[in-house]
Amino acid sequence: AQSVAQPEDQVNVAEGNPLTVKCTYSVSGNPYLFWYVQYPNRGLQFLLKYITGDNLVKGSYGFEAEFNKSQTSFHLKKPSALVSDSALYFCAVYSSASKIIFGSGTRLSIRP
């Protein structure tokens, strides 16, 4: 069965420190991977995606993610966190064998 896991409900980081939000997946075929961010009372906003090519993908607001095929992971990273990065982050995966599936979300909290 196709699935996406975000193992951490919440991640807490001090401003200026690096952050990582984890995502692992299980799909048949080649995955297309996405990260979205949701601010309070708003819809999801696209951050970045991996389709093919370079495993390190750069996206909006200084975020990047690394596709690791052997570990079936697509962790979201940022070298230096900002308070304004505090939000709910969703990983999503699509493959030709399934419709798009979203993870359960990780709440990122950046303390000043």
Partner 1 sequence: DAGVIQSPRHEVTEMGQEVTLRCKPISGHNSLFWYRQTMMRGLELLIYFNNNVPIDDSGMPEDRFSAKMPNASFSTLKIQPSEPRDSAVYFCASSFRGWNTEAFFGQGTRLTVV
If the CB atoms of residues 14 and 51 are measured against partner 1, the closer one turns out to be 51
Query: Of 12, 62, 100, 109, which one interacts with partner 1 (CB under 8 A)?
Result: 100
| Stretch binding partner 1 (CB under 8 A), from 7-15, 18-26, 37-45, 68-76 | 37-45
Examine residue 102 and tell whether it contacts partner 1 (CB under 8 A).
yes
Query: Of 40, 53, 54, 99, which one interacts with partner 1 (CB under 8 A)?
Result: 99
Structure tokens at 44: 């999801």
| Stretch binding partner 1 (CB under 8 A), from 7-15, 17-25, 31-39, 75-83 | 31-39
DSSP assignment of 57-101, as one string? EE-GGG-EEEEETTTTEEEEEESS--GGG-EEEEEEEEETTEEEE
Least Cα distance to 85 among 66, 59, 104 occurs for 59
- Compute how many residues bind partner 1; rule: CB under 8 A: 19
Strand 56-58 to 73-78 pairing: unpaired
